[in-house]
Amino acid sequence: MTLTTRNIHARIGKKEILHGIDFTARAGEITAIVGPNGSGKSTLLKAITDEVDFTGEVILNGRNTAKMKPWELAAMRGVLPQSTTLAFPFTVIEVVRMGLMAGASGERADIPSRALAAVGLDGYSGRFYQELSGGEQQRAQLARVLCQVWHPVVDGAPRWLLLDEPVASLDIGHQLLVMRLMKDYASRGGGVVAVMHDLNLSAMFADQMAIIMSGTLLTSGPPDTVIQNDILSKAYGCSLTVNTAPEEGQSFLLPHLAMHN
């Protein structure tokens, strides 16, 4: 089962941001969408979730999402936006519980608190969402999204987590926590598509990486095929050197101070 886009052209206002993207993510894997600022990686996710005007098709588990009702989609995938402002003083548990009501996860009353624990927010349930720090808010939202698609596979069909920069405002410890959570979700059969900023984290956790450059898909594949000097230098417009950690053969990048010419 896959999440596939066909020839996506997306525009924001009058400007075309994406120029025909064919992209595929498989269930059971983490697919990281990376690329420089303004490349259109977030727009691609927004096209997949129907938040921007686009032409082309998005096929989720074999069904065209344009023909699905909001509640059918909600039962199949949870979407985490980059940031969420919330009107009214809801508490953390109230926020998370709304995920439970939204998806077809069954009325398992303990799911919200388990989701909170999963994102490292146990003990926060009675706190006001708006009083949390940015990173805590993001994890609370992630818990809500997790609640919505708590079981990675339902009736043999995978469910999907579509995450826009899920670790952007988190400290390193929580970054790892959230990445492991994604890994676990994928390993249990769910699909995870995440727009990522951090190439190293992506390389560490993703099964597939897709590099978006100037609104087109530059390349995609497993991290070790994508994390290459020439590809990254082209995509990011600066020279980068890829190193390999000795023990696991893990590719990583260290930023250079000086530009190569």
Partner 1 sequence: MIADTTVPQDRRRTARRAHVWLTALLVLISIASLAIGASGTSLWGALQKLVSGQPLSQTEQVVLWDIRMPRMILGICVGASLAVSGAVMQGLFRNPLADPGIVGVSAGASLGAITAIVLSGLLPLAAMAWLGFWLVPLAAFLGGWGSTILLYRVSTRRGRTSVATMLLAGIALGALAGALSGILVYMADDAQLRDLTFWGLGSLAGATWAKVLVAGPVIVLSILVAASLGHGLNGLAFGEATASHMGIPVQRIKNAAILAVAAATGAAVAVSGGIGFIGIVVPHLLRLSTGPDHQPLLLNAALLGASLLLIADVISRVIIAPAELPIGIVTAVLGAPVFLWILLRRRGLVDL
Q: Find the part of the chain contacting partner 1 (CB under 8 A) among 7-15, 75-83, 204-212, 214-222.
A: 75-83
β-pair type (63-64, 191-195): unpaired
Neighbour order of strands in the sheet with 191-195: 77-80, 160-164, 191-195, 30-34, 208-213, 216-221
The yes or no reply on residue 86 touching partner 1 (CB under 8 A) is: yes
Q: Least distance in Å: CB of 127 to partner 1? A: 5
Residue 182 found at the interface with partner 1 (CB under 8 A): no
**Sole residue written with tokens 């009675």:** 126
Asked if 133 interacts with partner 1 (CB under 8 A), we say yes
- Using the structure block, give the residue that is written with the tokens 């388990």: 114
Stretch that binds partner 1, among 46-54, 110-118, 198-206, 213-221 (CB under 8 A): 46-54
Task: For the CB of residue 16, give the shortest distance to partner 1 in the complex, in Å.
Answer: 18
Task: Annotate each residue in 55-74 with x if it binds partner 1 (CB under 8 A) or - if it does not, as one string.
Answer: --------------xxxxxx
Residues 191-206, buried b or exposed e (16+ Cβ, 10 A)? bbbbbbbbbebbbbbb
| Dihedral sign from CA coordinates of 116, 84, 135, 162 | positive
> Rounded to the nearest whole angstrom, what is the least distance from the CB of residue 99 to partner 1 in the complex?
7
Counting residues that bind partner 1 (by CB under 8 A) gives 35
Query: Does 87 help bind partner 1 (rule: CB under 8 A)?
Result: yes
**In this structure, are residues 158 and 193 in contact, taking their beta carbons and an 8 Å threshold?**
no
Looking at residues 89 to 108 of the shown chain, list those that interact with partner 1 (rule: CB under 8 A): 89-91, 94, 98-99, 101-103
Determine the Cα–Cα distance for residues 123 and 52; give it in Å rounded to an integer: 37
- Tell which one of 5, 65, 148, 202 touches partner 1 (CB under 8 A): 148
Which of 5, 125 has the CB closer to partner 1?
125
CB of 76 to partner 1, least distance (A): 10
Nearer to partner 1, 133 or 261 (CB): 133
Cβ neighbors of 28 (< 8 A, separation 6 or more) are: 158, 186, 187, 189, 190, 191
Shortest approach of partner 1 to residue 22 CB, angstroms? Answer: 23
CB nearer partner 1, residue 78 or residue 215: 78
Q: What is the 3-state secondary structure (H, E, C) of 44-93?
A: HHHHHCCCCEEEEEEEECCEEHHHCCHHHHHHHEEEECCCCCCCCCCEHH
67-73: Cβ within 8 A, 24+ apart: none
Least Å distance between CB 82 and partner 1?
11
**Would you say 31 or 141 has its CB closer to partner 1?**
141
Q: Residues in the site for partner 1, rule: CB under 8 A?
A: 49-51, 69-75, 77-79, 81, 84-91, 94, 98-99, 101-103, 126-128, 130-131, 133, 148
